[in-house]
A and B are shown apart, each in its own frame.
Chain A
Amino acid sequence: MEPGTTYAQPPEQAALVAALRAGDEAAFEALVAELGPSMLRIARMYVSTRALAEDVVQETWLAVLAGLDRFEGRSSLKTWVFRILTNRAKTRGEREGRSVPFSSLGGDPGSDEPTVDADNFRDGHWASTPARWDALPESRLVGAETLAIAQAAIDALPETQRLVITMRDVDGLSSEEVRNVLDLSESNQRVLLHRARAKVREALAPYLEGRT
């Protein structure tokens, strides 16, 4: 949470926390099913193997259970879980001697560069009109190859951008959740997200527009 803002816990979350505290297995299972894949994906960015990532996720859930009685609902449950996750994953990654995302957050090199190559513009306006993707057949937009290109583009991003776009656009966390989990300012989060999206768009364009 940012200083001065208070988080009002929604009734569904209060109910979920109460169910977990009461030992409701189905509620726990559903929560693990809901958050597990995102947690695994995020943990994977900090550690070298899938097995380690899975360990981190399990460790995180154990820490969540151990801390649940002290959880006061001052942030969203999701934010709290993901904060524990990223802290554990970071520690594991460091122990492995991996370079850790955000270790050099101060300078995000190239963040002042334009996200669309200046060659595309003449006198500040598009030299040629970007193609209409909304006219593409749905099957192409959701096709396996399209998804593979998007995933490869995300994998190739600098780590900070990769984390932000994965959390926001792939896993559907809110901007506030991502800012709180990763300790980013609003403008930093937005810049990272914008740059990441622009690169993924750029990677998709040649394929979607039949230029490959």
Chain B
Amino acid sequence: MTSIWHRIRGRREAPLTCIELVELVTAYLEDGLDDAERRRFDDHIGDCPACTNYLDQFRQTIAIAGRLEAEDLSEDARSELLAAFRGWARGPATGQ
């Protein structure tokens, strides 16, 4: 982890800054980073408590979104659909 090592490998191997990392979080979580990017991300997260917290906040945000409840179809709509299914299952639909 010396600066010489980074200089040899060039910019793509340079450590990420926090301001760069926050833009890569979704790509990271989706496995959308290439090997070099992922390594830089992991290296940074490894010793940056601030970005570790940010990554966790992102994960919590996703979990919260996953808890949002949806309204369901009305009872009427559901029974109409079921009736339609029965009609469909009985034979080739005609007159539709």
Contacts and interface: CB of A to CB of B under 8 A. Distances in A.
Interface of A: 22-23, 25, 28-29, 32-33, 36-38, 40-41, 50, 54, 57-58, 61-62, 65-66, 114-116, 118, 121, 123-126, 129-134, 141-142, 146-147, 150-151, 154, 165, 169-172, 175, 186, 190, 193-194, 197-198, 200-201, 204-205
B85 A28 contact: yes
Interface string B33-60: 0000000000000000111011011101
Contacts, number: 152
A150 B22 contact: no
Contact of A28 (B23, B53, B82, B90): B82
Interface residues of chain B: helix, strand, loop or mixed (majority): helix
Given A126-B51, A150-B65, A186-B32, 13 more contacts: A25-B85, A28-B82, A29-B78, A32-B73, A37-B70, A54-B73, A65-B84, A130-B53, A132-B56, A169-B62, A169-B66, A190-B30, A197-B25
A154 B73 CA distance: 21
A130 B89 CA distance: 57
A11 B72 CA distance: 28
